[in-house]
Amino acid sequence: MEPITSRANARLKAARKLQAKRNRLTAGLFLAEGEDIVEEALSEGILPAETFVAAGRPPDDGLIARLARGGPVHVVDDELVAELGSLGHPARVICVFKVEDLPSRDAATADLGVHLHRVIDPGNVGTVVRAAGALGPAFLSLSAGCSDPLSAKGVRASMGAVFRVPIEHGELPEAGPARVALVAGAELPLWGIDLRPATVFVVGAERLGLPDEIVAACEHVAAVPQALGADSLNAASAATVALYEAVRQRSAAG
């Protein structure tokens, strides 16, 4: 098979458009780059719609064969793969996945979650997805104004947990799990709240925090402990600690 050597190739052009959020929304598709990340998709039974591999440094044949079950595999000049991706050290493989193949909230993930309010940093959003995957099962809810978890940086920071963690979009979840607002300097520590019933942690952006009306709508307000005058943890660290505390309380040994 001759590698694709033209930037103008229609498949490459269509894939490159997915670098922009509005095109991801329109197409219902997103990119995932790197062998470790696409392996995460495969391990969840999610196949790519399309795959691009670097002609000069392809991944191993077994991986290519497994990816080919989902859709066409294109062999592409290394520079064009680098241009499709976002990494300084370019990936050997970049896949296009369908948003509709991602998981939805189910019985296993319904009783623990994190709602992010206007967290614009893609690394922070991705890190929360990763924490939900590592400490959960747990779901993620994103308000308007949050960074897209399916951006290149978001998928990368999640380490592929976007294929495992249900992600919803909307303002503060209304019915369902008790909402626990995490607020810097709040009086009650996390461990002072019973997190064994269904719980969703509500976390704002660093510096800005949560607006008063969001905090007021929550059933509980909790702080992570911090030395007087110390900076608040960032959104991702706060969510990670909160998920840990819920897991600890729910564990038989906790």
Residues that bind a second copy (CB under 8 A): 40, 43, 127, 130-131, 133-137, 159-161, 164, 189-192, 224-227, 229-234, 236-237, 240-241, 244-245, 247-248, 251, 253-254
Question: What's the distance, Cα to Cα, between the start and end of the chain in Å?
Answer: 57
Q: Closest distance between a second copy and the C-beta of residue 66, in Å?
A: 17
Work out how close the CB of 2 gets to a second copy at its nearest, in angstroms, rounded to a whole number. 36
Cβ-based nearer residue to a second copy, 155 or 236: 236
Q: Are 208 and 214 in contact (CB under 8 A)?
A: no
Closest Cα to residue 101, out of 21, 195, 166? 166
Least distance in angstroms from the C-beta of 245 to a second copy? 7
- Output b/e per residue, 150-183; b: 16+ Cβ within 10 A: bbbbbbbbbbbbbbbbbbeeeebeeeebbbbbbb
Which residue's CB is nearer to a second copy, number 45 or number 100? 45
* Cα–Cα dist 165/114, whole Å: 11
Residue 221 tokens, joined:
């307000």
Q: Which is nearer to a second copy, 157 or 210 (CB)?
A: 157
CB of 233 to a second copy, least distance (A): 5
Residue 25 vs 208, nearer CB to a second copy: 208
